[in-house]
Amino acid sequence: MAKCPLCGTTLNWAELIEQMLPIDDAQAIFKDKERFMGAFESFVFKCPTCGDEFYGGNLPRKEAEKVFDLLNEFNGSIDWEKRRVRLRLNSLLALDMMLEQWDKKVKG
Ligand SMILES: [Zn+2]
pLDDT in tens, 46-56: 999 999 999 99
Classify residue 7: in a domain, yes or no.
no
| Confidence class for position 107, pLDDT limits 50, 70, 90 | confident
Which pLDDT belongs to residue 79? Answer: 97
pTM of the model: 0.91
Position 108 pLDDT exceeds 80: no
Classify residue 2: in a domain, yes or no.
no
CA of 107 to the centre of ligand 1 (A): 38
Q: How far is it, in rounded angstroms, from Cα 26 to Cα 37?
A: 12
Q: What is the CATH number of the domain that holds 48?
A: 3.10.20.830
Count the domains in the chain.
1
- Owning domain of residue 73: 13-107
- Say if CB 13 and CB 90 are below 8 A apart: yes
Identify residues whose C-beta is under 5 A from ligand 1, the ion: 4, 6-7, 47, 49-50
Q: How many Cα neighbours within 13 Å face the side chain of 73?
A: 9
CA of 11 to the centre of ligand 1 (A): 8
- Say if CB 22 and CB 83 are below 8 A apart: yes
Q: How far is it, in rounded angstroms, from Cα 46 to Cα 44?
A: 7
Which pLDDT belongs to residue 37? Answer: 98
